[in-house]
Structure 1
Amino acid sequence: MGGTATSGGAAPSGGAARAPVRFAALGDSLTEGVGDPVPGGRRGWAALLAEGLGGAERDVEFRNLAVAGAQSADVHELQAWAAADFRPDIASVVVGVNDTLRSSFDIRRIAARLDEVFALLTGGGAVILTACLPDPGTALGLPGPLRRPLVRRQRAVNAVVHALSARYDTVHLHVSDRSWTEDRSLWSVDRLHPGERGHRRLAAGFHRLLAERGIALGDRPGHEPRQPPPTRAAGLLWLATEGTGWLARRSTDLLPQLLGLAAAEVGHRARGTSRQLDARAEQALAEALADLPRTPFLRGFVPHARMEG
């Protein structure tokens, strides 16, 4: 889990400083900073963005609550409460890719969880940052039968995020287009997380949108990386060390199901009925959106750990 950092400038002489702006970042490895190593740990887009929020007249209190491997349930049951206790002015909620990589994927549950997280944080006065993301199958360059099920899942997650972004008037960044998946300079050696250039692009994109609302007062994060891009040798080293373990951990859960989904893809394509799979995904998404309450509410959002406290 990330830590807490404070950045900003001193107040002008003769004037009182503004109250510090509080920024909480929720999510998974993308927000934790995987792919953007710095001496002593990881940085990532959220930390880069925090540096540009304050300007000369106010400090920034930044808390990175994101954890590698987190799913929507982790954000819903743990991170959101920690963020609410922090009482942020800005809270980023970028999660969902790990949900698409699990056999337990359920778009209705994901939608309900995110709705309640957004209700909790906006109810405390926070401006929410959201993003739609590329699907992991395309990012990893998987073959069609393996890629298409993940494409459907990520599209469903993105559609839910779009709907909730409109509902809660979030600051929403589009990063699911082909310019992201096709530009290899944006990605780290694992092909699933942004590299430094990608993290900087995310930070700059959010900063631009926040500046348009008069929220980001500092300088926009620079686009150009300070460190050289990873070499092919670095990619091979990652695969031989961390990469093998990464694939093994996911294979115990995702791979058996993904192979089944791929077999269904091949069978439907051979029969000319691939549209049925699309229709099922669209129906599940429609039901997920229809299940959302007409007005934001917090009923039911009481994890056991919270109750015991």
Structure 2
Amino acid sequence: MSGKHSAAVRMRTRTARLMVRPTAIHAFGDSLTAGIADVWTNSKLTPWPRILFDALRSTGADVVLTSDLARVGASSREVLSEQIQPAEIGSGDVVCLWVGGNDTLRSKYTIEDTHLALGEVLGVIGEAGAVPLTMELPRISSALPGPRWAMRSWDAQGALVNEMVRAGSGRLNGIHIDWPGPSIAGPDGTHLSQAGHYFYAREYATRLAARWGIATPRIEAPEGLPVFSAADRRRWYLKHGWLWLMRRRIDKRRAARR
């Protein structure tokens, strides 16, 4: 066999392997992707990327959860350097990407910082040819009571983050889901309840199944999962939330003195 013919055979073999490789699912982001119950307990729930992966596998889809790197408290810059850049993202991969919420809560983090980091994050995903799964951040003021100055600041920056994520996801033909309201939130009103994780997994699975031309997986939340009312959240705030808000307020005061 000639050298040229052997090289051609090897090339065709590598190409065939790439064509039939499993679709990788990557879980990147902060506590919303990682699956914590609230900012006080940090107790773990089953996160929506895991539910999504299991559901897609149940249909016979050839998928594998390769990167599960989401971390509580991660900023967009940390998602880029600690999660996106070390990962091996390939064409057609699914990237679970919930990011930007912690940027709005950090006094040292400006919208320009977020814009630069998100641009790089989405640039890496786009260059790889992967599909991002993104979401709309909830408005802090709709979830928790607190000082008006803090709520206005967080809401304004959160709205800008939402605009950037929505536009970037659209450019990459991603799947973007709006925040449906407090019914899916846990006791702090911003992180998902376990039922909320099932909600997002079901929404993403339905859209991916339609794109891939496969059967829509059945995703049903187990019976008896807790549902948190506005009164539950007020009790949570009175017991825990005000301490969390004070830490943020002190952080902003210190930053203002610099």
TM-score normalised over the length of structure 2:
0.75
Specify which of 198, 201, 226 is matched with residue 200 of structure 1.
198
* Structure 1 residue 257 displacement after superposition: 6.2
For 1:249-288, list aligned pairs within 5 A: 249-254=247-252
Which residues in structure 2 correspond to 1:1-309 (within 5 Å)? 19-35=21-37, 41-62=44-65, 63-84=67-88, 89-142=93-146, 144-175=148-179, 179-180=180-181, 183=182, 185-214=183-212, 217=215, 219-223=217-221, 226-229=224-227, 246-247=244-245, 249-254=247-252
CA–CA distance in structure 1, aligned partners of residues 127 and 142 of structure 2: 36
Amino acid at match of 2:134: T
Question: Residue 165 and residue 128 in structure 1: after superposition, are their counterparts in 2 closer, same or farther (change >3 A)?
Answer: same
CA contact (8 A) 2:76 2:100 kept: yes
Q: Kindly indicate whether the alpha-carbon contact (under 8 Å) linking 2:143 and 2:189 is maintained by their aligned counterparts in 1.
A: yes
What root-mean-square deviation, in Å, do the aligned CA atoms of Structure 1 and Structure 2 show? 3.3
Runs of 4+ in structure 1 deviating by more than 4 angstroms, as ranges, are: 85-88, 215-218, 223-226, 230-240, 242-249, 255-258
Distance 1:233 1:166, change over 3 A: closer
Deviations 1:206-225 (A, max 9, x none): 22222221276551422565
Whole-Å separation in 2 of the counterparts to 1:169 and 1:33: 25
1:133 deviation in Å? 1.3
2:202 maps to amino acid: A
Give the CA deviation at 1:51.
1.6
Once the two structures are TM-superposed, the CA of residue 125 in structure 1 deviates from its matched residue by 3.1
Structure 2 vs 1, CA of residues 234 and 211 (structure 1 numbering), >3 Å: closer, same or farther?
A: same
SS of the residue aligned with 1:42? coil
The AA in structure 2 aligned to 1:169 is N
Cα contact 1:35–1:44 (8 A) shared by 2 = no
Q: Is the 8 A contact 1:28 1:68 kept in 2?
A: yes
- 1:22–1:87 Cα contact (<8 Å) kept: no
Deviation at residue 246 of structure 1 after TM alignment: 4.2
> What's the secondary structure of 1:83's corresponding residue?
coil
Q: Does structure 1 retain, via aligned residues, the 8 Å contact 2:89–2:125?
A: no
Is the Cα–Cα contact under 8 Å of residues 137 and 158 in structure 2 kept in the other structure? yes
Matched-pair contact (CA < 8 Å) for 2:94–2:130? yes
Identity %: 31
SS in structure 1 of the partner of residue 166 of structure 2: helix
Deviates more, 1:221-230 or 1:163-172: 221-230
Hey, what does 2:10 align to over in structure 1?
none
1:90: Cα distance to partner?
0.6
Aligned residues: 232
SS class of match (1:22): strand
Letter in 1 for 2:83: Q
Write the deviation string for residues 235-268 of structure 1: whole angstroms up to 9, x where unpaired: 868975x75764465344246669x9xxxxxxxx
Sort the Cα spacing of 1:230 and 1:152 in 2 relative to 1 into closer, same or farther, 3 A.
Answer: closer
Give unpaired runs (5+ residues) of structure 1: 1-17, 261-309
Q: 1:64 to 1:163 in 2, by over 3 A?
A: same
SS at match of 2:125: helix
